[in-house]
Amino acid sequence: MPAPADLNIDHVAYLARLALTPDEKRRFAAQLGDILASIEKLKQVDVSGVEPTAHAFPFYNVWAEDKPQPGLSVEQALMNAPAQRERMIVVPKVVE
Amino acid sequence: MTSPLHFRTIVELSDALSAKRVSSVEIVEAVIAQTNAVESRVNAFNSLNPDDALEQARLSDQRRASGQGRGPLDGIPIGLKDVIAVAGQPLTASSKMLENFVSPYDATVTRKLKRAGVVLWGRLNMDEFAMGSSTENSAFKPTSNPYDLERVPGGSSGGSAAALAAGEAIATLGSDTGGSIRQPASFCNVVGLKPTYGLVSRFGLVAFASSLDQIGPLTRTVEDSALLLGAIAGHDPLDSTSFQAEIPDYRAELATKKGPWKIGIPQEYFGEGLDPEVDAAVQKAVLHYRSIGCEVRPVSLPHTEYGIGVYYIVATAECSSNLARFDGVRYGHRSKDAKDLHELYCKSRAEGFGDEVKRRIILGTYVLSSGYYDAYYLTAQKVRTLIRNDFLAAYREVDAILTPVAPTAAFKRGAKTDPLALYLSDIYTIGVNLAGLPAMSIPCGFTSDGLPIGLQLIGQPFKESDLLGIAHAFEKHHDWHTRRPVL
Amino acid sequence: MQYEAVIGLEVHVQIKTKSKMFTRVAAGYGFDPNTLTDPVILALPGVLPVMNKEALDAIVKAGLMLGCQISPVCKWDRKNYFYPDSPKNYQISQYDRPICVGGEVEIELPGAARNLQGEHKKIPLTRIHLEEDVGKLSHTATDSLIDFNRAGTPLMEIVSEPAMHTAEEAFAYLTALRTAMIYGEISDCDMEKGQLRCDANISIRPIGESALGTKVELKNLNSISYVRDGISHEIKRQIGVVTAGGIIRQETRDYDGIAGTSQSLRSKEMAHDYRYFPDPDLMPVKVDESWKTRLKAACPELPFDKQRRFFEAYRLPYTITSVLVPDRALCDFFEEAANDAGPGKAQAVANWIVNDLLRELGQSKRSLADSKVRPLHVAQLVQSIDAGMLFANTAKEVFVEMAASGETPSAIVERKGLKAETDSGELERWCREAIAANAKSLADFKAGKDSAINAFKGPVMKAGKGKANPKLVDETLRRLLAEMS
C-alpha cells in the first residue's frame, strides 16, 4: 500500500534525527502506508464522551521529599562517553 | 533427584540447598556446563559471566553455612533479559547502539534479586529494544527455539524463554509490552507471567512503551513463577507509575486457591487465522476447567479488533520519544562519519538502530507530529479506554479470561518478513497490555510437529494470586511443562 | 506614523531546592563539571523521573503570591526536540494544563526624580509552569563541551501577557518579579548564576491599532540592564525597518549586551514541532484546598504591600522605603527595631538603618545576616538619644563600635565613658563660668544678638569634655542669661 499522500518521510526522518537511504525511505514509507491503513479503522469507533487512558490505573501526587542523595562520580558519569575532555562531553561545535 | 540439576525447578533446588543435598556452586556449575554444551546451537545469551556467577554461588554457600541464608532464591542462577540494568554488566538491549554500554547502576528488580541472594547469570538475547516477536530483530544474532533449532523462540524475550527451555538457567526475567514474555513462553514450553501494570518496578528497564512495559518471570512451573514474582513485585519510590499494592506471599497463597472459578472465553479471539492445532489444545484446556467444576462461558470483548491499531499508535509514539536519548552524545554508538552535530545525531542513530526500531520510531514520530495528534494518538488512547472497559465489564461476570497466546506455534526463522503480518500475530496478547492486566502463558500441549502450544490466562488487576491459582489448577493435572527439548 | 511597542516577557526562575526536579541528586552552582549527575540526569537507559515535592510547593506558593489561579489538576508533558544540553532529547514540562494560570505582577515605574515614587501598574500574567533545566554548553573554536550539573534543576517558567509597552516597564517588571521571588524564598534570582533568565517577545504596531505586529524573540538578555537596553534597541530597530518600508521577519535574535547590537539567530519558520504528549512516566498533580491554605500561610507580605504599610504605619517616606523594601531581611530588621524602640521612633530607627547600618555593612563587606548589629541595639540607641543620654554625634561613634563588636550601646558608652553629662549642678557652674569669662558676648546677647549664645557653648562643651547635652546647655545658658537681664 502506498504511503498516505501527506506522509512527508523526509520531514519525519528529520524530526526523528534518522538518516535514511533513498531505499529505506521508499521501503519505510510503503510499510508505514500498510500499517496506517490498518489503523484507519480506528476512526470508525465512536469515542464521544470517552476519556483517553493516560495511565492504566491512575493515581495522583506521586513525589519525593527534597532530600539530596548521592549521584554518580565523574568517572561513572563519563565511563560510557564516546568523547570527553576536561571532564565534559565533547560534541562537534554547536552553532545556534 | 532424577532429572539433571539444570532442568530442576527453583522450589526443588531450594529444598535441596536447605537440606544440604546440593550446593549453589554445583547448581551453577551444572548450568554453566549445559550452556557450554548447547549455547552454540541455541544462541540465547549476548554475554556470559561464569567466573562471576561461580563467585556469587560461593558467597551463597557461605551464607547458608553460617546460618545467614536469604531464602528460597538464595544461590539460584537466574538469567536477565539484556534490557534490565545490572551495575557493571553490559546493557545492550541487543542493539548496536548499546553494544559497548556498561550500566553504572542496578535496576530495582536487580537490587531485589541481589538481596534475595540470586546468582545473576548472563545477559539474554532479545529483539532489539524489545521490538519484535521472534528475536530475529536482535542486532547480534537470532536465537533458536530449543524444540526446533530452525524455528524462532518467539520474542522479544526469546533468549529468556530459550535459555530456560534449554536448561541454561533455572529461571529468567523478561519484559512484556505487547506479549514479549507470554508469546516466547508459549513457543518454548515454559511458564511466562506479565504482572499487572505497576506491580513490578520499571526503574532500570530500558523503556520501550512506558505505559505498557512490565518485567516478569519465566519459569518451569507456576509455583516457581509465584516465588519469583514475590521477589520482584512491590512499590518502588523510584518509579512514579509503580502501585502501592499489598504484596501477598504468592507461593503460600497457591495452596489456598482452589476455585472453582468462572472463566470467560472471548468470542473475538477464536476466529480466522487461529491454527487448528492451537485451537484444539486450547479447547482441551477449556474442557479441563469444566471438569474441575469451573463454569466456562462466552464473553465479549467487542473492541478487540482495534487493539493492534491502538497498540501501534501508543507504543510507537512512546518509543519514538523514549529512544530519542540514544544519540551518540553521552554514551552509546557515535558515528565516526559525522561532520557536524546534526550528522552526529542522524548517522549515529541510523548506524545504531536496526530496521524494526527505525520503522517504529518513524511511525511514532509521525503519529505525534503536528496536526496528527488528535486523529491518531488521542483517538488511540480513547479507544484504549474502551478496550480496558471491555475487560472490566467481562470481569463483572467472570474471574479470568482464557485465550490462545499466539495464532500459531513457533514459525521458521526468516518466514515472516512482512512487518504488518508480524504485528497482527500479537492480536491475543496486546489487549492485556493496553488494559494493564496480569496474564500468564502456561504450556498446554504440542503440535503434531512437536512444537509447544501455550494457554493464556488473563486475570484481574492486582489479583495475581487468583491468576496463579487458576494456572496451577491446570498445571497440576498435566505434564506438558515437564517435557524437555532434545538437544 | 507613531508606533508603540508591545512586549511580553518569558522569565525562567530556578527554584532553590536542595535536589533536582525529577531526581534526588543535589542541585548546585559552581561545582566541578559533571559532579552533580546521576543516571536519571544523564538519561541513561532505563531511568525514570520522580517529582520533587519542594519544587511543587514553591511554584504553588509563587502562584498564590502572584494572584494566579492554581489548577486543581495539572499534568506533565514531554516537549520533544534534539539538543545536546537536553539529555533525554525531550524536556519534561507542562503544555496544556499548567499548574498556575493568570496572575499579575505589580510594578513601579521610575518617578519624576530619584526621590519621588513613580507610577504603579499591574502587568497581567498568562501562566506559570514547572519544567526542568538543561545542561550548560561551552564552546571552543572547533567543538563544544557539555556540563550536565545544571540539567534537571527545577525551573519555573513565568509568561507575561504581551502587556508592556516600554523597555522601562520591562525593567520594572523584572525587578519586581525578582524581588517577589526572593521575598518568597523561592529563588535567589542571581542572573549571573543563571538563576533568573529572560527572553523578550517584541513587536510594534501603529498607535491605536489593536492587532499585534509580527513578534521577534530576543534572547541572551543576561542582566536586568541588558533586558532594558536590548528591548530598547530592538524597538528602535523594528521602527527603523518599518519606517524604511520593510517588514518585520518573525525570528529569534541574540542580543550582545557589550556591543549593544543584536543579530538573527534563526528564522522562526523552522519552528520546532515539539510533538507534545502526556508523559506516561509521571502521574498528574491534584492541588486541594488544604494544600493551598497551608502555602498561603507561608506566603510573605508582598514588597509593594509592605511599602504601603510602612508608609501608613510608620510614616516612612519613599526615600526610605525605596531602600528598605527590596531587602526583606532589612525590612524585618527595621520592624523589629522599630517595635523595640516604641511609638514615634520608627523614622529615626529607619534613618540609622538606611544610613549607618548599610554603610557599615558595605565597608565591612558583610551581609545583614553576618552583621553584629542587633535590632534591639538600634532601638536602644535611638531611645538613648531621645532621653538625652547620648548625643547624636557621639551616637555615630557608638554605632561604628556596635557594628564592630556587637555590644549594646550602653555597654559601649560605659566602656568609653561617652555618657552625656546631665548633672545640672555641674552644668550650671560651667555655664556661669563661660558667661562670666566672655563679657563681650554677654553684652551682644543682651543687645539682641541671639547667635552670641554660641560663643558660650564652646567653653561649656570643653569643660564638659564633650559629654554635655547640647540641648540642655542651650536651655541652661538661656535660663541664666534671662535671669541676668
Q: For residue C462, what is the domain's CATH number? A: 1.10.10.410
Sign of CA dihedral C394, C399, C405, C409: positive
Cell numbers found for residue C277: 504528549
Secondary structure (3-state) at B100: coil
C328 and C274 in one domain? no
Q: Decide if B449 is inside a domain.
A: yes
Q: Decide if B358 is inside a domain.
A: no
CB-based contact, C46 to chain B, within 8 Å: yes
Expressed as residue numbers, the domain containing C340 is 301-416
Expressed as residue numbers, the domain containing B203 is 5-263+397-482
Residue B81 annotated in active site: yes
* DSSP 8-state secondary structure symbol assigned to residue C68: P
| Boundary residue ending a domain (C416, C447, C462) | C416
Pick left, alpha or beta for residue C245 (phi over 0 → left; psi -120 to 50 → alpha; otherwise beta): left
pLDDT for position A4: 67
- Could you give the residue ranges of the DSSP H alpha helices within C184-277? 224-243
**In this structure, how many other beta carbons lie within 10 angstroms of the beta carbon of residue C406?**
13
Alpha-carbon torsion, ordered C463, C467, C472, C474, to 10 deg: 50
Angle of the C53-65 helix axis to the C289-298 helix axis, nearest 10:
70
| Topology at the third CATH level for domain A1-44 | Histone, subunit A (1.10.20)
Give the total residue count for chain B: 487
Task: State pLDDT tens for residues C125-156.
Answer: 999 999 999 999 999 999 999 999 999 999 99
- CA–CA gap between residue B241 and residue B203 (Å, rounded): 10
A63·C51 Cβ contact <8 A = yes
| Boundary residue ending a domain (C416, C445, C464) | C416
- Alpha-carbon distance C127 to nearest alpha carbon in chain A (angstroms): 21
C284 and C192 in one domain? yes
A2: confidence class by pLDDT, cuts 50, 70, 90:
low
Contacts of B343 in chain A (CB under 8 A): 19, 92
Give the best residue of A38, A42, A43 to mutate against chain B (max B CB count within 10 A).
A42
Residue ranges of chain B whose pLDDT lies below 50: 1
Nearest to C423 by CA among C373, C454, C467, C457: C467
Cα B1 to the center of its chain, rounded Å: 29
From residue B438, how far is each of B227, B432, B470, C207 by CA, in Å? 16, 7, 13, 65
C332 and C404 in one domain? yes
Nearest to C316 by CA among C349, C291, C283, C287: C349
pLDDT for position C271: 63
Closest-CA residue of chain B to C86: B325
- CA–CA gap between residue C40 and residue C22 (Å, rounded): 8
Closest-CA residue of chain C to B341: C84
Contacts of B338 in chain A (CB under 8 A): 92
Angle of the A22-40 helix axis to the B307-322 helix axis, nearest 10:
140
Contacts of A78 in chain C (CB under 8 A): 34
Q: Decide if B122 is inside a domain.
A: yes
pLDDT for position C268: 46
- CA–CA gap between residue C321 and residue C381 (Å, rounded): 21
Q: Which residue's C-alpha cell is 544462541?
A: B43
- CA–CA gap between residue C49 and residue B242 (Å, rounded): 12
pLDDT for position A1: 53
Q: What is the mean pLDDT of chain B?
A: 96
Cα-only R_g, chain A: 23
Question: Digits of tens for pLDDT over chain C (485 positions)?
Answer: 899 999 999 999 999 999 999 999 999 999 999 999 999 999 999 999 999 999 999 999 999 999 999 999 999 999 999 999 999 999 999 999 999 999 999 999 999 998 899 999 999 999 999 999 999 999 999 999 999 999 999 999 999 999 999 999 999 999 999 999 999 999 999 999 999 999 999 999 999 999 999 999 998 888 999 999 999 999 999 999 999 999 998 889 999 888 888 888 865 445 689 999 999 999 999 999 999 999 999 999 999 999 999 999 999 999 999 999 999 999 999 999 999 999 999 999 999 999 999 999 999 998 999 999 999 999 999 998 888 778 777 888 899 999 999 999 989 888 887 776 666 677 888 889 889 999 899 999 988 899 988 898 888 888 877 677 777 888 888 888 888 86
C236 and C359 in one domain? no
Q: Are C412 and C373 in contact (CB under 8 A)?
A: no
From residue C293, how far is each of A38, A63, C70, C298, C299 by CA, in Å? 52, 20, 12, 9, 10
Amino acid at B352: G
Sign of CA dihedral A40, A42, A47, A50: negative
Give the best residue of C37, C41, C47, C53 to mutate against chain B (max B CB count within 10 A).
C47
C195 and C84 in one domain? yes
C464 and C331 in one domain? no
Amino acid at C156: M
- Alpha-carbon distance A57 to nearest alpha carbon in chain C (angstroms): 10
- CA–CA gap between residue C478 and residue B417 (Å, rounded): 117
Cell numbers found for residue C151: 540539567
Task: State pLDDT tens for residues B322-334.
Answer: 999 999 999 999 9
pLDDT for position A77: 97
- Residue B437: CB partners within 8 Å, gap ≥ 6? B196, B197, B391, B458, B459, B460, B461
Q: Decide if B237 is inside a domain.
A: yes
C329 and C284 in one domain? no
- CA–CA gap between residue A35 and residue A44 (Å, rounded): 16
Nearest to B318 by CA among B375, B376, B234: B376
- CA–CA gap between residue C401 and residue C407 (Å, rounded): 8
What is the number of domains present in chain C? Answer: 3
Q: Decide if B334 is inside a domain.
A: no
Catalytic residue among B14, B103, B160, B180: B180
Q: End-to-end CA distance of chain B: give it in Å, rounded.
A: 21
CB-based contact, A76 to chain B, within 8 Å: yes
C84·B341 Cβ contact <8 A = yes
3-state helix, strand, coil in chain B (%, to 5): 40, 15, 45
A41: confidence class by pLDDT, cuts 50, 70, 90:
confident
Q: Would you call the peptide bond into B156 cis, given omega within 30 degrees of 0 as the criterion?
A: yes
- CA–CA gap between residue B20 and residue B22 (Å, rounded): 5
C42·B327 Cβ contact <8 A = no
pLDDT for position B418: 80
Which residues sit opposite C122 in a β-bridge?
A: C106
pLDDT for position C431: 87
Main-chain dihedrals φ then ψ at residue B299, nearest 5 degrees: -130, 170
A90·C275 Cβ contact <8 A = no
What is the number of domains present in chain B? Answer: 1
Return the CATH number at B195.
Answer: 3.90.1300.10
Residue B156 annotated in active site: yes
Number of Cα atoms under 13 Å in the Cβ half of residue B459: 20
Q: Decide if B275 is inside a domain.
A: no
C234 and C127 in one domain? yes
C150 and C172 in one domain? yes
Q: Decide if B360 is inside a domain.
A: no
Q: Decide if B281 is inside a domain.
A: no
In Å, the largest CA–CA distance within chain C is 102
- Alpha-carbon distance A3 to nearest alpha carbon in chain B (angstroms): 12
| Boundary residue ending a domain (C372, C390, C416) | C416
